Amino acid sequence: MTQTFALLDRAHLDAMTGGDTALAKEVVEIFREQAEIWSRMLDPQAETTQWADAAHTLKGASLGIGAIRLAAKCETAEKAGRSDTPPSVTAAAVMLGEIKDVLGDTLEEVAQLLYDYTSPPRRVS
């Protein structure tokens, strides 16, 4: 059975930042910077240690904001990259492609979160 995780667990982020919206925005911005830097290293043609290290770093950044699905994909790739028998380039390409897909979805969710944090509250009529 496959378990589905949230793209972004806002309750987790709120708990990690003590409900401080300014801190949450800062943490999310750091995540976006980390994602930009490390996602470039998710290259199946590169040394296995390079993309395994990138997956490890993205996993940690993801856990910090509650991006559980992304963290799970990164953990799978990290373990595969550090195993005694690393995956083939084709298998690595599929695995790293899945990370990039979920990362894209997560970044969209992050953009929505930042919008929600900066938008004035809606009035109920």
The pTM is what?
0.87
Per-residue pLDDT band for 43 (boundaries 50, 70, 90) equals very high
Cβ proximity of 99 and 70 under 8 Å = yes
Residues 6+ apart with CB under 8 A from 18: none
Residue pair 118/29 in contact by the 8 Å Cβ criterion: no
110: which 2 tokens?
Answer: 């992050």
Question: Percent of the chain having pLDDT more than 70?
Answer: 91
Mean pLDDT across the chain: 91
Residues 6+ apart with CB under 8 A from 56: 74, 78
DSSP string over 35-82:
HHHHHTT--TTS-HHHHHHHHHHHHHHHHHHT-HHHHHHHHHHHHHHH
CB 53 within 8 A of CB 106: no
